[in-house]
Amino acid sequence: MSDFKGGYKSEVPRYELIPGERLLFEKHIETRDLADLAGRIDRGEPHEVNPNYGGQGYTYLYPKTEDLGRVKASRINDKWKLDWENSRG
């Protein structure tokens, strides 16, 4: 079977794949990176998320795929708030 249909290559455009890949990255960081950061905050270790030690209250996490952008993770009432930004800043 050909990769071309009607003269055009039949593959899913990248912009349609990004939301699904962002969800997979969120699941990945919730079980690893964010769990480690929460442990550091609970133990009282200084970190950029912990404002008690001069932190800014958030941190940026970067997926390996550059066109996903970056995610801003902030901890509010023991829950993580994840905001996606389209640029890598």
Model pLDDT, residue 72: 92
pLDDT at 1 over 60: no
19 pLDDT exceeds 70?
yes
pLDDT of residue 71: 93
Lowest mean per-residue pLDDT among 4-13, 38-47, 70-79? 4-13
Q: pTM score, two decimals? A: 0.77
For 1-89, list the strands marked E by DSSP: 4-5, 8-9, 58-61, 70-76, 79-85
- Spatial contact of 60 and 89, defined as CB atoms under 8 Å apart: yes
- 32 pLDDT more than 70: yes
Give the model confidence (pLDDT) of 63-81 as tens digits: 998 889 999 999 888 899 9
**Kind and range of the H or E run holding 26:** helix 14-31
pLDDT(30) > 80:
yes
Name, in order, each residue with C-beta under 8 angstroms of 11's C-beta and a sequence gap of 6 or more: 3
